[in-house]
Each structure stands twice: as structure tokens, then as C-alpha cells.
């Protein structure tokens, strides 16, 4: 089983890297859930062999990069929403014209 877990962790790390490079935030959500499921399973399989620990370290690094992308995307959308709320000239003009 450790070889399967190691392979799964390496595959997840690869897919996280690919989707992060592509900027595919929607796909990262599913991969995040899959990562959580794998890590919960590994927590009960301790102690982990060196190869699985190494694969998990690669997975963690890829996961951290993915989370950083999601944070940047979140901040960009938040800034756009704040800008829309702050500059309501067009919407206010419609409301004024309708009176």
C-alpha cells in the first residue's frame, strides 16, 4: 500500500502543479478535496516510509503554490468588487433618470 499512497501523492502533486501553472482555479478546488482525503488516510497509516514522506513533501509544496494562486485570485476579485461598489456612477445615473 505505501507504493500506492506514494504514487497517489506524486500524481496529485503533478496535477496541482499543472492546474496551478494553467491558472485553473476551478480545478484546484477538486484537487484540494482529493488532497485532504489522501492526507486523512495517510494520518492513520503512520509511520510513513521515507518515499511516502518525500512524496508528501512534494505534494505539500505544490499545494502551497496552488493555495497562493487561489489567494491572489481572491484578492483580485475582491479588489474588482470593491472598485465596482465605490464607482457607482452609471447605476446612480439610471436611478436618478428614472425618478
What Å distances lie between residue 61 and 9, 23, 34, 66, 90, CA to CA?
11, 16, 15, 9, 45
Residue 49 forms part of a structural domain: yes
Residue 64 lies in a domain: yes
Residue 84 falls inside a structural domain: no
Q: Mean pLDDT across the chain, nearest whole number?
A: 91
Q: Which domain holds residue 55?
A: 2-71
Asked if residue 51 belongs to a domain, the reply is yes
Report the number of distinct structural domains present in the chain: 1
The predicted-structure confidence for 36-79, as pLDDT tens digits, reads as follows 999 999 998 889 999 999 999 999 999 999 999 999 999 999 99
Q: Is residue 8 part of a domain?
A: yes
Examine residue 93 and state whether it is found in any structural domain, yes or no: no
Asked whether the predicted pLDDT for residue 87 surpasses 60, the reply is yes
Amino acid at each position: 500500500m505505501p507504493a500506492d499512497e506514494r504514487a497517489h501523492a506524486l500524481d496529485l502533486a503533478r496535477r496541482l502543479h499543472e492546474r496551478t501553472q494553467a491558472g485553473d482555479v476551478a480545478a484546484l478546488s477538486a484537487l484540494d478535496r482529493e488532497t485532504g482525503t489522501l492526507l486523512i488516510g495517510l494520518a492513520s497509516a503512520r509511520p510513513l516510509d521515507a518515499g511516502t514522506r518525500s512524496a508528501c513533501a512534494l505534494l505539500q509544496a505544490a499545494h502551497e503554490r496552488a493555495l497562493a494562486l487561489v489567494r491572489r485570485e481572491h484578492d483580485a476579485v475582491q479588489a474588482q468588487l470593491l472598485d465596482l461598489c465605490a464607482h457607482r456612477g452609471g447605476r446612480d445615473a439610471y436611478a436618478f433618470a428614472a425618478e
